[in-house]
Every structure is written in C-alpha cells, then in structure tokens.
Amino acid sequence: MEILKVENLCKTYGSGENEVKALDNVSFTVQKGEFIAIIGPSGSGKSTLLHILGGVDKPTSGKVYMDGNDVYKQNDEQLAIFRRRQVGLIYQFYNLIPVLNVTENITLPVLMDGQEINESRLNELLDTLKLKGRENHLPNQLSGGQQQRVSIGRALMNAPAVVLADEPTGNLDSKNSQEIIDLLKLSNQKYNQTLIIITHDENIALQADRIIAIEDGKITRDEVINR
C-alpha cells in the first residue's frame, strides 16, 4: 500500500541572485512500512525534503500526498493537526523543551491536540525507551542518548504512520547511535510504521530497505537494497 507520494517537488529559497534551488523536481513514492535512508552531501536538499514531507515547510511547487490526501491543500489548522497526528519528526539536536520533564516532553503533542493521554501507551513507550525512573528529569539532566530517546517518545506518542528523522544519530557515539536506530527499527517492524531517516552514517544507511541519494536538489539514486 502506498503511504506517501511526492510529485515534481521544487523548493526555492530567496530570490534574484540570492535564489537557491534546494529541491529540483523530486518525485518518488513510499510504500507503507518501508525504511528509507536519505543520503547525500551537505546542502543537497535532504532536510528541506524531510521538512516538506513533515508538513513543516511548504513546497514552491509540486505535490505531497499522504495516504492519498494532498497535504498542502489543507488549511493551516488542518496542517497543524497533520503534523501532530500523521508524522513524527526527530531532529539531530533533539529539540526538547528545556523546562518540561521527560513525561511532559513526550506527551506535549497529545496535550496540544487536546486529547487525553493514553497512559498505557505512555508506559509502554517509557519502558521500551528505557526511560522508566527518569519521568521527572529535565532534558539537561539526561545524556544525549536519553534525550534522543525522549524525542523518539514524543514522535511516537501519537502512533504516526510516518516517522521522519533528520540525522537522529549525528550527535551520538556509535553505541548510542545503534541503540537509537534499533528503537526506530523496532517500531518500523512491529507496527509496519514507515521510517525515513537522513543519515551520513553508511552503517545506518545499509540497514535500510531502500536508499535515496540526493545531490543538488535532485534524486541521483533510488534503490531497494534489502528485503
């Protein structure tokens, strides 16, 4: 089943002589449950692509369909709901709220959505992410690996269909990196959740089902490597 479809995506920043074409006519489709690694040099458009898939950054032209729905046809309020429920974003530097504890950071998207917290789901996540006993800690009382596990909790709390991670291990040593990837793979396999990771780490890219390489805003390689 097709979960994502990207059609002729273009993104231009600035104008005149400052114009940067970050994405240049990018098209591909993603099947539900796929694990995709996006690779490519710095500045090639990877983050821009991920942000557009996540409903964070509007394309200049082209379409993104999630589960058959035209993402950028939605109004701002619908788009905000899309970001909280349909996708889970994970960043290199965690992007946690410093004054909120572990539980509060994880449940923030649920609360912002005006929903009740599913306590059994929260408990299962705290357990899986090995954050039991850390519920009341603030981000600065946690290691980098723990902080990234909190940000995974926040991304997964609403059980999104698609998880989007922008160099989630870029700030971690190799042991913590593999632990983070294993947690993301677990959710990918257990729930057939779609996983798209930007990475510079070849070891991580080679664990994916499929590799998409981007250079200068264009797809230069799109290859199924496992499965």
Q: For binding to ligand ADP (CB under 6 A), which residues are involved?
A: 13-14, 20, 22, 40, 42-48, 156, 159-161, 187, 191-193
Helical segments of 54-157, H only: 76-85, 102-112, 119-128, 144-156
In the complex, minimum distance from the CB of residue 20 to ligand ADP, in angstroms, rounded to a whole number: 5
Task: Decide whether 138 or 170 has the Cβ nearer to ligand ADP.
Answer: 170
Name the minimum Å distance from CB 140 to ligand ADP. 27
Query: Considering the complex, what minimum distance in angstroms separates the CB of residue 97 from ligand ADP?
Result: 22
C-beta separation of 173 from 179 below 8 A: no
Residue placing its CB nearer to ligand ADP in the complex, 119 or 175: 119
* Nearest residue (CB) to ligand ADP, 48 versus 199: 48
Please state, in angstroms and rounded to a whole number, the distance separating the CA atoms of residues 31 and 133.
37
Separation of first and last alpha carbons in the chain: 16
DSSP state of 116: P
Q: Which is nearer to ligand ADP, 115 or 137 (CB)?
A: 115
Query: Side by side, which strands form the sheet with 69-70?
Result: 20-31, 2-13, 61-66, 69-70
Q: For the CB of residue 142, give the shortest distance to ligand ADP in the complex, in Å.
A: 22
